[in-house]
Amino acid sequence: MKRTMLIAMGCLLLSSAPSRADLVYENPWDNLATDAGAFSQANQLLAGEFVLGAAADVNRATWYGTMFAPDPLNTGDTWDFDVVFRSDAGGLPDGVLASRSVAALVTDTGVDIMGERVYLFDATFGNVALSGATSYWFTAENTGTEDTFRWTRATAGLGSALSTDGGATWSNWDEPARTPLNFALYAGVTAVPEPTSIAFFSLGMAACACHVGRRRAGGQGLAPSRR
């Protein structure tokens, strides 16, 4: 009986899958912006400041931007980025805490800014452990071959910074039409049982009941008769 229950529980755990991530920080996208954004690529990096309310293992990021290209992207495409998390020093980005190369999933928003289509980029990556109540900086660096990504602005957020030497030095970036940068960070992926998991567990419990029933029936058949 114990063995059957363990098998059923094992099936339940193995069939569990990540279902959602908790939003831990957001600079909401400004879909009414009148500027298509600025480049964030190797020779011109942008970074957005953020502070988490509590410690978290960040493993997903989303952001909106335009693609200045003759061949627009389509929903379901991917685009290559490096997402980089930096520490803060005197209100500007400092050393790299974590860097992840990602293929961000692309979703067409249907919104055009200055004749350029805006896309939602969504990337998951290995956990980045961050503390709460601490200033950090986030960068989405375009590594796609066309170098056409423009990072659009948010309706609200903290500071933004600009680097023109690959992240060696930074300065405050305060162009009113373009700052702050939009992005959202997620953490806390939760594993929950899928319907198939529940079915496995139910089958395991049913097998357990049948096993117990057979043992009882067999025991009664082997008992010596009384005279």
Cβ-based neighbours of 161, under 8 Å, separated by 6 or more: 46, 47, 48, 49, 92, 93, 137, 170, 171, 172, 173
- Output the pTM of the full model: 0.75
pLDDT digits (tens, 9 = 90+) for 55-101: 999 999 999 999 876 667 888 899 999 999 999 999 999 999 999 99
- Examine the pLDDT at 7 and tell me if it is beyond 50: no
| Selection from 218, 224, 210, 188 nearest residue 23 by Cα | 188
- Report the pLDDT value the prediction gives residue 43, as an integer from 0 to 100: 87
Phi, psi of 61 (to 5 degrees): -140, 145
> Tokens representing 65?
């931007």
**What's the length of the chain?**
227
Helix axes 195-222, 2-14, angle to 10 degrees: 170
> Tokens representing 182?
């939009």
Please, what is the average pLDDT of the chain? 81
Q: Which residue has the higher pLDDT, 18 or 77?
A: 77
* pLDDT band, residue 177 (cuts 50/70/90): confident
- Report the pLDDT value the prediction gives residue 147, as an integer from 0 to 100: 62
Element (H, E) at 195: helix 195-222
Q: Cα–Cα–Cα angle for 204, 206, 209, nearest 5°?
A: 115
Q: What are the CA-CA distances from residue 22 to residues 44, 57, 105, 111, 126 (Å)?
A: 31, 10, 19, 26, 15
Q: Which residue has the higher pLDDT, 209 or 104?
A: 104
| Selection from 203, 195, 208 nearest residue 16 by Cα | 195
Q: Calculate mean pLDDT across residues 209-218.
A: 49
Q: Which residue has the higher pLDDT, 159 or 195?
A: 159
% of the chain residues with pLDDT over 90: 61
The CATH number of the domain covering residues in 18-190: 2.60.120
- Report the pLDDT value the prediction gives residue 176, as an integer from 0 to 100: 87
